[in-house]
Amino acid sequence: MPDIAKLLWPESVAIIGASSDTRGLRGRIVQIMRSHPYQGAVYPVSRSETEVQGLKAYKSVADLPPTDLAAMIIPAKFVPQELENCGKAGIKAAIILSSGFAEEKGETGPALQKEIQALSHFSFRVDGSIELFDMDFEPRKLFTDVAAVSEIGNFLGQTPGIQFDGLSAAGH
């Protein structure tokens, strides 16, 4: 059985493509992470900002302290290279929040997906596109109260008034 602990119960999360603008998904992800009782470290990665929503931002994953999970909200064409960077940095799990892979018509999306599959030598766990989160917000806490599974994670992350102990989205 594959070890998915870093995917489900990370002690640290890098948000690649993070933004201070909470009107967009790249900023809302950081906002949601900070609004839940997640006890781990959150590391925004942004090429254009030095601080994201009060958190120090890093220019690349190579600059990060040891990190368990990378959540990527970047254009699909950059995902294979960033996953390779994550593998080189020792990150063991990633969630791809970008679209533009197998769900796209034409050859580009499926080709990008094959590039991602070719990175299997890094031995990290990768969860598919269009998820918001695939983790327990409190590391090592079992799902004892309310957990939710949805095909589309964006719905789960925007459920006002409901605190989930765990969220998982199946994506495509």
pLDDT digits (tens, 9 = 90+) for 51-93: 999 999 999 999 999 999 999 999 989 988 998 999 899 998 8
Strands 166-169 and 135-136: antiparallel
Residue ranges of domains in the chain, CATH in brackets: 5-169 (3.40.50.720)
Q: Which helix (H) or strand (E) element contains residue 62?
A: none
pLDDT for the residue 143: 37
CA 26 to CA 21: how far, in whole Å?
7
Are 130 and 172 in contact by the 8 Å Cβ rule? The answer is yes
Does 106 score more than 50 pLDDT? yes
Are 135 and 69 in contact by the 8 Å Cβ rule? The answer is yes
Q: What is the pTM of this model?
A: 0.73
